[in-house]
């Protein structure tokens, strides 16, 4: 069975991801600044009464030099962690802790994470929400299928980066 994470805000860098019971699972926060800043991704405790949120990762956004991730106690330059690939270099691939390679495939209003072994097994799928003008209102949602549930943290971390870049590319293309 898939794990469905619903967004409280449409922005991938300023939202809370909630589970099917409407409980917060991840908090993603980026201060609003004129220049690029840092996105902090925290994991919410399952036992809400006793534990505190646990910082999972930070993304230090840079314009002049490579963006950096702080993940699992390591500082990783984006080019060493997520590599651009595919037609027009729009896809983002990475090697997960399980040693397998995965790839985020961006679309106009969605993204899929696939196992990059030729099988194209879908591991996670994101669908952007809508405000409900021409169809029923729907919140953005990240679904993680059984094949990806052993690595939900890295899926969320890489998703935040890839989705923000997808939106920046889309917005730049639409503004001319």
Q: What is the pLDDT of residues 116-150, one digit of tens each?
A: 999 999 999 999 888 767 777 789 999 999 999 99
Residue 102 lies in a domain: no
Q: Residue 107: pLDDT above 70?
A: yes
β-strand partners of 7: 17
β-strand partners of 125: 112, 143
Give the confidence band of 176 by pLDDT, cuts at 50, 70, 90. low
Q: Distance of alpha carbon 62 from its chain centroid, rounded?
A: 18
Residue 20 lies in a domain: yes
Residue 112 lies in a domain: no
Average the pLDDT over 36-40 and give the result: 89
Q: Show the domain range for 23.
A: 3-81+126-174
Residue 50 lies in a domain: yes
Residue carrying the six token digits 């809370």: 16
Residue 116 lies in a domain: no
Residue carrying the six token digits 């939202």: 15
**In this structure, are residues 38 and 30 in contact, taking their beta carbons and an 8 Å threshold?**
yes
pLDDT in tens, 40-81: 999 998 766 667 889 999 999 988 889 999 998 899 999 898
Residue 114 lies in a domain: no
Domain count, the chain: 1
Give the confidence band of 174 by pLDDT, cuts at 50, 70, 90. low
Residue 153 lies in a domain: yes
Q: Which helix (H) or strand (E) holds 102?
A: strand 101-106
Determine the pLDDT at residue 62: 87
> How much is the mean pLDDT over the chain?
89
Residue 28 lies in a domain: yes
Determine the pLDDT at residue 12: 95
d(CA 99, CA 70): 19
């Amino acid at each position: 069975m898939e794990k469905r994470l619903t967004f409280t805000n449409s922005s991938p860098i300023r939202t809370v991801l909630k589970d099917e019971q409407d409980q917060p699972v991840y908090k993603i926060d980026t201060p609003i600044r004129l220049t690029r800043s840092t996105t902090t991704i925290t994991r919410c405790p399952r036992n809400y009464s006793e534990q505190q949120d646990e910082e999972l990762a930070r993304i230090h956004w840079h314009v002049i030099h490579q963006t950096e991730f702080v993940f699992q106690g390591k500082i990783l330059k984006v080019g060493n962690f997520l590599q651009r690939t595919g037609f027009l270099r729009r896809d983002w691939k990475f090697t997960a802790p399980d040693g397998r390679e995965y790839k985020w495939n961006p679309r106009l209003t969605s993204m899929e994470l696939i196992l990059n072994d030729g099988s194209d097994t879908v591991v996670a799928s994101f669908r952007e929400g809508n405000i409900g003008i021409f169809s029923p209102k729907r919140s953005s949602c990240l679904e993680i299928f059984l094949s990806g549930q052993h690595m939900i943290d890295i899926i969320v971390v890489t998703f935040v980066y890839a989705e923000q870049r997808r939106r920046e590319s889309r917005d730049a293309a639409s503004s001319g």
